[in-house]
Amino acid sequence: MKKTIVVILFITQVFLSYSQIKKLTDEDYNKSGAIKLIFVTTNEEVKGLAKLDIEKGLPFLLIQSGIGPVVYATDSVFESNYQVYYYEQGCVGPDIEQMKGYNFEIFNYLTSKYGKKWIHSVRKDVIGLKQWKRRK
């Protein structure tokens, strides 16, 4: 009986702890490079912010939409599988080239860590994805 309970507890713990995504706080967003893009002017600064976010374990993929944010049910699955977060810029945001530069660094990181399998499940409206795929 004790063995059965231990096995059930172990299996439950594995399922509850496997692939959980961190719940981002306001502080996480405010200290991220993604929010600081509006203040940078060079591509090197953009790359530096992306690399810093990767080192901190909080990389973002930037999306720009309209007034209302768009969230798909598969977003959390992607975020959980690849430990990267979608960041919705809304209708106003940093320069599009800066957002592309940031995302290119994140794309390169994802490719180096997970290979090309992440490309099939990423949102297709991520800024710069089409251009990055053409370059590769």
Cβ atoms 82, 62 nearer than 8 A = no
pLDDT in tens, 29-73: 778 888 888 899 999 999 999 999 999 999 999 998 777 778 888
Rounded to two decimals, what is the model's pTM? 0.80
Provide mean pLDDT across the span 104-125: 96
The whole-angstrom separation of Cα 27 and Cα 89 is 17
Tokens representing residue 24 in the block: 């981002």
Q: What phi and psi values does residue 63 have, to the nearest 5 degrees?
A: -130, 140
Confidence of residue 18 (pLDDT cuts 50, 70, 90): very low
pLDDT in tens, 64-114: 877 777 888 899 999 999 999 999 987 777 889 999 999 999 999 999 999
